[in-house]
Each structure stands twice: as C-alpha cells, then as structure tokens.
C-alpha cells in the first residue's frame, strides 16, 4: 500500500469507507440511469435550450433575468458532443449525476460540524446516498446544484475556526456568488444568512476584528462576482435588477392572478404574450384584503412546508423539536451554539419561500440537514451513561441506527422504485407522431405540459392551448390566422365536432388523442 501511495490518499479506514460510499452512489445512479433517462420537465427543457443557444454562439440571447445560468453552463461539455433532443436529456442527467457526486464530498465536509463518532458519521453519509440519488433522478433542476453549493458554504460558515483566516470569508463569498448564479434566490439567502452567521460569530468569539474582516471580505467577493451577471441582465432588461423570478412568482400568487398566462390566454404566437393575462404586481400593504391574502399565503406555505417535511420522514419534526429543547434547557452556554446554525439555516431557507410559494425541491437542503442533525442526536444518545449501562446497548445502537436509516430513506427509495421509466411515454408518443409526419406549427386543446415535451422532441412550434369555452368559429379563425399545421384534441372534448372540415391524421386511442391537419 505504501508503494502505491495509498496511505496519502486514505489517511484512515474511514477514508476507504467514504470511497466505498462514492462507489455505491456511482453504481446506483449508473443502474438507475436507463430507467430515468427519459425524465423530462419544463424547467429542464429551458436550461437545455439555454445551453444550446450558447453553443450556437448566441450568448446574448441566452441571458435571462429569470433563469439562473450556472446549471446551463455546466451542461455545455456534455451537450457539445450529445446533439439530439434525447441526448440533451442524457446531458442534463449526467450533469446532475456529477453534481450529486460533488455534493457527497460537501456533505462529508459539513458532517464535521455535527459532533459524532466516525463509524456513525460514515453511516450517516451513507444514508444521504438514496436522498441524493432521488434529487438527481427526479428533476432536471438547479435546486440540486443549489444544495451542492450550500453544503460547502455551510461547512465553512459553521466552522468554529471560521474567523481564524480571512480565506474562509472569501470562500463563503465565492460560494454565495455561485448560489446566486444558480438561482436568484441565492442572492437574498446568502446575504441574510451570511450576516446572521457572522453576527453569531461576532457575539461568541474573542477576536471580533477577525470576524468583521471575514464579513467584509466575503461580501466584497460576493458582490464583485455577482455584479458581473447583474450587469448582463440589467443591460438586457434596461433596468437594474438581480433577477425577476421572485417578482414574477410573487405576482403569480397575487389575489387577482389567473395563473400562468399560457393556460388562459388561448392560442398565440410563441414569440408573443398577451400582457392582459400576465400576473400583475401587487402589495400586501395596499389594502386590508391584500394583507389578509398575504397572511393566507404564509399560513398555506407553512402548512405545505410541514407536510413536505413529514412526507420526507416522520422523524423530521421530532429531530427539530429535540434540537430546540437541547438549545433552551439549562445550562445555556456558548458550547450550544452549534445547535443554532442548522435551525437558523432552515428558518432562513423556508422564510423566503413561505411568503410566496413552497415547492418540495426548494427545501431539499433541509432533508440533508435533518439527517446530519439526526446523526448528532444519535451520538448524544449513545454517549449517555444511562444508555451505556444497559446490558444490550450494542444491539440497541444497531436497532436505532438501522431504524433511523430506514425512516430517512423510505421516501426517496419508494419514489425511485415507483417512478421507473418516467417520461418514456412522451418519447414514445413523439416517435409515433413523427411517423405520421406531424411537423411545423401545432396547437392543442389541453395538456400543455405534455405538448411542451412533444415540442422538445419533435422540433415543432407550439402555439399554445385554446381557451376552454372557445366557439367553433373563433377556434377555426385562430387556427387559420396563426397558420397552424396540426391541432391536437385530447380527451372526450366537444372540439372534435368542430373539426369536421379538417383531415383526421391520427386517432391514438391509447393516448385518448385525435390529431387534425389544418393547413
């Protein structure tokens, strides 16, 4: 081993165990890849298309104040070689797999901010593998990349030796900028969390000057790097902005919002949007009704967050409650400060989303924090004199650890087993439609999301979804005015009776779909 130089690579046996965990992850995702290679979602299509724009030399057109650029940039090496639509999905999934692998290194680093014995730490890291695999396979999304970046950021800012060198502050600032390049929410999350965590360090450490230096250095690096992208999107928008996703989503949940415009505006040119259907800006302070609406959003957001955490594991709230109890029961001293960090992280992460809208993937980071917090609590339990005095304490340790692992991995494992070949039907339907010669401009009466997937595979131009109660005359006028080549009628719609003057191209009963040739 010495001759092979492995002692430098594996300093302890736990380094070898971690390598085996990485191997387990690689084998797992490699096995599941063939079952999830068709997985597709609307956001994923956008990020793939942004990457393709860059590869085609249209960098300016790829700049968006809504979509973070980093995930698209990371896809570029794969998309450069993998050209077809299906290969685009492969590229996105391969990118996610690599991000998941890097995340495991971050989790190990972060785990050292939670006190536990090395054998237990190894099992806790192993517990995160099914969770990370679930993140990788379930969506094409920057939220996995956000989790990856934030694990390294939290590992640095939770460090009790954080103030020992200004490099920690600089590193945090760099990671904060990466979080912003991932999602615009990273901008506000980093500023809020970095200020609060530095305040904690300032109040609990002796060298307060060093903490201030780290804070200043971190913010400076963060703003310098972030300003590059802010300049790009501000120049393109003609106004100063760090992103529009927050404003748009806030307008989307407004009291008078009709939801996404594409579901209500009817058939339209894909390059044009009827502004009458766009969500309107609103303020919770402009009227009492609006304020009540905001309170209702917060209440619903809090309920949904609780539901998501309980869905992840029935241990979620027990872990949080025990953490809070350990924090508040005497004695209260600086040694308990490590308990504060994950609780504050959870609060900041969810607070920004609760006032607007909460989606499960937005709070994936909390899943990992809960696993690490659970490992810390198990370690506390195993070190109690009362526990060690029990006759079968080793057996009890085994039962506790195995039970914990099962309860923390049950949801992701069930998902991965229950959603094999997700998206394959869309790919098969697209191939079938290509056989019928469907091309050009298409429109639909329903299933706009499915139509987006078909458009991605087939290279058609989607002109939207007709309004629910549109008359036969208005529908035919829209179809002819927009130059629609094929119209899709899903389900038992009365619109089939409108299509008597058009040629029926396909009647796919297995999909409950009829397609008509218009022009």
Residues 6+ apart with CB under 8 A from 109: 151, 152, 155
* DSSP symbols for 172-210: HHHHHHHHHHH-THHHHHHHHHHHHHHHHHHHH-S-HHH
Handedness of CA 91, 97, 101, 102 (dihedral sign): positive
Parts of the chain with a pLDDT under 70:
1-9, 332-335
- pLDDT of amino acid 265: 87
- pLDDT of amino acid 490: 94
Sole residue written with tokens 């305040």: 199
- pLDDT of amino acid 317: 96
- Strand segments, DSSP code E, in 33-87 are none
Sole residue written with tokens 């391969």: 94
Structural domains of the chain, with CATH: 424-517 (3.40.190)
Give the CA radius of gyration of the chain.
26
- pLDDT of amino acid 298: 96
Handedness of CA 230, 236, 238, 244 (dihedral sign): negative
- pLDDT of amino acid 386: 79
pTM exceeds 0.75: yes
- pLDDT of amino acid 1: 42
- DSSP alpha helices (H): ranges in 205-287? 208-237, 245-252
- pLDDT of amino acid 495: 85
């Amino acid at each position: 081993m010495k001759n092979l130089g492995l002692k430098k690579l594996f300093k302890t046996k736990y380094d070898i165990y971690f390598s085996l965990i990485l191997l387990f992850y690689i084998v797992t995702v490699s096995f599941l890849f063939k079952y999830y290679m068709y997985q597709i979602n609307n956001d994923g299509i956008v990020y793939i298309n942004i990457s393709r724009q860059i590869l085609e030399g249209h960098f300016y057109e790829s700049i968006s104040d809504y979509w973070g650029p980093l995930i698209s940039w990371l896809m570029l090496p794969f998309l450069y070689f993998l050209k077809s639509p299906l290969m685009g999905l492969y590229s996105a999934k391969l990118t996610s797999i690599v991000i998941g692998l890097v995340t495991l290194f971050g989790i190990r680093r972060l785990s050292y901010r939670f006190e536990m014995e090395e054998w237990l730490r190894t099992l806790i890291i192993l517990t995160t593998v099914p969770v990370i695999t679930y993140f990788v396979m379930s969506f094409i999304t920057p939220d996995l990349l956000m989790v990856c970046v934030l694990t390294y950021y939290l590992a640095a800012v939770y460090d009790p030796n954080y103030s020992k060198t200004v490099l920690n502050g600089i590193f945090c600032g760099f990671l904060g900028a990466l979080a912003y390049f991932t999602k615009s929410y990273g901008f506000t999350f980093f500023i809020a969390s970095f200020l609060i965590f530095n305040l904690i360090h300032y109040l609990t450490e002796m060298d307060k000057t060093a903490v201030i230096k780290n804070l200043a250095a971190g913010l400076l690096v963060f703003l310098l790097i972030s300003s590059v992208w802010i300049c790009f999107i501000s120049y393109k928008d003609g106004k100063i902005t760090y992103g529009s996703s927050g404003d748009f989503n806030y307008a989307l949940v407004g009291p008078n919002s009709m939801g996404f415009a594409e579901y209500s505006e009817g058939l339209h040119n894909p390059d044009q949007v009827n502004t009458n259907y766009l969500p309107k800006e609103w303020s919770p302070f402009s009227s009492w009704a609006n304020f009540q609406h905001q309170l209702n959003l917060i209440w619903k957001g809090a309920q949904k967050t609780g539901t998501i955490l309980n869905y992840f594991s029935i241990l979620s709230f027990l872990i949080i409650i025990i953490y809070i109890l350990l924090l508040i029961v005497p004695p209260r001293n600086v040694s308990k400060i490590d308990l504060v960090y994950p609780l504050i992280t959870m609060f900041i992460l969810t607070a920004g989303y609760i006032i607007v809208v909460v989606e499960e993937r937005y709070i994936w980071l909390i899943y990992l924090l809960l696993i690490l917090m659970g490992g810390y609590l198990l370690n506390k339990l195993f070190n109690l004199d009362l526990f060690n005095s029990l006759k079968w304490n080793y057996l009890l340790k085994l039962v506790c650890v195995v039970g914990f692992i099962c309860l923390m991995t049950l949801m992701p494992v069930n998902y991965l087993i229950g959603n094999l070949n997700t998206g394959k039907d869309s790919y098969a339907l697209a191939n079938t439609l290509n056989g019928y010669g469907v091309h050009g401009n298409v429109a639909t009466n329903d299933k706009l999301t499915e139509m987006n997937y078909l458009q991605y595979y087939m290279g058609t131009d989607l002109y939207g979804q007709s309004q629910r109660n549109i008359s036969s005359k208005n529908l035919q006028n829209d179809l002819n005015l927009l130059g629609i080549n094929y119209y899709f009628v899903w389900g038992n719609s009365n619109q089939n009776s409108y299509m008597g003057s058009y040629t029926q191209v396909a009647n796919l009963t297995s999909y409950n779909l009829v397609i008509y040739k218009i022009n």
